Structure 1
Amino acid sequence: MESLQSHKAEMISIAVALLAIGAGTAYYFYITTKKPKGCLDPENFKEFKLVKHTQLSHNVAKFKFALPTPTSVLGLPIGQHMSCRGKDSLGEEVIKPYTPTTLDSDLGYFELVIKMYPQGRMSHHFREMCEGDYLAVKGPKGRFKYQPNQVRAFGMLAGVTRAILENPNDKTNVHLIYANVTYEDILLKEELDDLANNFPNRFSVYYVLNQPPQGWDGGMGFVSKEMIQTHCPPAAADVQILRCGPPPMNKAMAAHLEALGYTSQMQFQF
């Protein structure tokens, strides 16, 4: 087991993202008229070669893994994740879920952006990986299974944003609340800001920091009921909010959402 301290740090730093999106089918379902078979196996681990390691900050790195052919797709439905297997500092096997930052429109490879903690068991495995090494992966996994047009609006995690915005047939509007502890903890900020600049009428992001730097003009503290009310769509029968985080965070978010009129049917907790 990871130490309570490292587990808490890892969970707190998870981005709390609430995306309000309108009707439309996610880009994943439009990439081809005949969806190619994915490389993942839900029952068995398969190994993929690490071809590029890019250090993004002192404890965050991007890992690019090659698929079998240049035209292969990973085969991970939107809203689902995959299990990655490695070894901790004691040589014991550890399995942890991750969601790639790439889509099935990114042919021939997939990428993981990983935040690594000193006592993290899977963090140790990623820290030790070198280009040419292989990562064992199994999937897809997850309780949430997206179906086209199942609701008019979703609250989703940030990883889905690109799939929505890059689909020319999807007129979805996306409003994201993205919470972290410090500025350095904001993962993929440049990519999110680019999306906001490229799709100004469809995407906006509101950053919230628990420990903001001097001169910070975004949200401060924890995600509040007022922030949700200001930056997310009002509750409606065809709106759903997807949320994640540690138990105290989820409990607080559920209370805020309930106070704003979001019923349990309008919420999904990962």
Structure 2
Amino acid sequence: MESLQSHRVEMISIAVALVAIGAGTAFYFYITKKPKGCLDPENFKEYKLVKRTELSHNVAKFKFALPTPNSVLGLPIGQHMSCRGKDSVGEEVVKPYTPTTLDCDIGYFELVIKMYPQGRMSHHFREMREGDYLAVKGPKGRFKYQPNQVRAFGMIAGGTGITPMFQVTRAILENPDDKTNIHLIYANVTYEDILLKEEIDNLAIIFPNQFNVYYVLNQMLFVSFSFRLLILSLTISQFFTSYLFKSRLFLDSKLFIEKLAFLLSSLS
């Protein structure tokens, strides 16, 4: 009996070792032989909408399938892509968008879209249903982020402008070798307008020593935030940290812009 149990333990140990070796080998080939991206910078390619999730009355998350479950989009961090659609009168429209997913999210990509009443591309997304296709071309843009290329990033975003900031933020924080600090100011009209708030707050909770987020609202609301803000910039950090950001939440973005403009003009 003891011999049989010992044999079973040995077999289980061998099986576990083989699984570990296989997983390690797969990971090695993934990082050393990363699949070629699906994007084409010269030609539009179509991707199927497989899931649409309504986030609010005018915001939705669109999940598009890539050709295979192992495909990657191939969008460098810091760049965007062009999406093509039709407006309310059937005319073609092209607009740049930044996915909220990264190439580590294999087999699909996601777009978080705010659909404006008079927006031409907004009409296209508003009419999209699961099973429809979106024409995409890219990558676009000159900026390419490299890990640890700066000590800290100071980001200022408003409304839907959060998506490129979120892309870079995710890439930095999810890379254990990247020690870049991030300080994000995110402005919106109301609390309900804040896109990706749950995702942003989760990152701030998981990486409290590397990521600080600071919300700016135009309308007066009582909101309590537990996140600190420390803005670090080569020439204006003293102004920001000692004067502008003594409290945790600005409730008037117009006042924020006025103070920011005053500080910048005083440095010129």
Unaligned runs of 5+ in 1: 1-30, 219-229, 237-247, 264-270
Q: Which residue of 2 aligns with 1:162?
A: 170
Verify: 1:216 aligned to 2:223, yes or no: yes
Q: Which residue of 2 aligns with 1:268?
A: none
Higher helix share: 2
Q: Residues 145, 252 of structure 1: CA spacing in aligned structure 2 closer, same or farther, 3 A cutoff?
A: farther
- TM-score normalized by the length of structure 1: 0.70
The count of residues paired between Structure 1 and Structure 2 equals 208
Q: Which residue of 2 aligns with 1:19?
A: none
Judge conservation of contact 2:189–2:217 (CA < 8 Å) in 1.
Answer: yes
Matches within 5 A, 1:101-250: 101-156=100-155, 157-213=165-221, 215-217=222-224, 231-235=230-234
Q: Residues 45, 204 of structure 1: CA spacing in aligned structure 2 closer, same or farther, 3 A cutoff?
A: same
- Find the aligned partners of 2:32 and 2:219 in 1 and give their Cα distance: 47
- Find the aligned partners of 1:146 and 1:130 in 2 and give their Cα distance: 34
The one of the two structures with greater contact order (alpha-carbon pairs below 8 A, sep at least 6) is 1
- Find the aligned partners of 1:257 and 1:145 in 2 and give their Cα distance: 29
Q: Which residue of 1 aligns with 2:27?
A: none
Q: Which residue of 1 aligns with 2:86?
A: 87
Larger CA Rg, structure 1 vs 2: 2
- Find the aligned partners of 1:90 and 1:154 in 2 and give their Cα distance: 42
Q: Which amino acid aligns with 1:197?
A: I
Q: Which amino acid aligns with 2:97?
A: Y
**The residue matched to 1:42 in structure 2 has which SS?**
coil
Judge conservation of contact 2:153–2:182 (CA < 8 Å) in 1.
Answer: no
Q: Which amino acid aligns with 1:49?
A: K
Unaligned runs of 5+ in 2: 1-29, 156-164, 236-253
Judge conservation of contact 1:177–1:231 (CA < 8 Å) in 2.
Answer: no
- Find the aligned partners of 1:254 and 1:185 in 2 and give their Cα distance: 22
Judge conservation of contact 1:73–1:104 (CA < 8 Å) in 2.
Answer: yes
Deviation at 1:252, TM superposition (A): 7.2
Judge conservation of contact 1:173–1:202 (CA < 8 Å) in 2.
Answer: yes
Deviation at 1:147, TM superposition (A): 3.8
Higher strand share: 1
Q: Percent identity?
A: 78
Q: Residues 171, 256 of structure 1: CA spacing in aligned structure 2 closer, same or farther, 3 A cutoff?
A: farther
Q: Which amino acid aligns with 1:144?
A: F
Q: Which amino acid aligns with 1:216?
A: V
Q: Which residue of 2 aligns with 1:71?
A: 70
Deviation at 1:34, TM superposition (A): 3.0
Measured against aligned partners, the alpha-carbon deviations of 1:97-127 in whole angstroms (never above 9, x if no partner) come to: 0000000000000000000011110000000
